[in-house]
Amino acid sequence: KHVSQLPSFAKLTKLKSVSIENLSSLADLSPIAEAPALQKLAIWNMPHLETDDFRCFVNHPKLKRINLTLVTGPRQSPKEAQIKEFLPIVRSFGED
């Protein structure tokens, strides 16, 4: 919960999936984007993240899907809709 930064994932050449949740101190997602084989990312309950925090995933060579729910509850965060505009691989949890 108190993780504020991550190391580079660049050397994790076989890492295909990452799931993070409730990391309220983490804002920089770019170390995850450095994982060369990353195909799937799940982010849950991290409402402090901003739209621009996801720009590091644009043009990722292998990333196929991001499951995203910034806030838990029945309504989608407006930020999620903005992220989907520039990252069409983003899906809300439960959305196919």
d(CA 44, CA 72): 8
* pTM of the predicted structure, to 2 decimals: 0.90
If the chain, 96 residues long, is cut into consecutive pieces of 10 residues, what is the mean pLDDT of each piece? 94 98 95 98 94 97 95 79 94 72
pLDDT at position 13 is 98
Yes or no: say if 88 and 82 are a contact pair by the CB < 8 Å rule: no
Residue with tokens 């901003």: 50
pLDDT at position 40 is 98
pLDDT at position 77 is 81
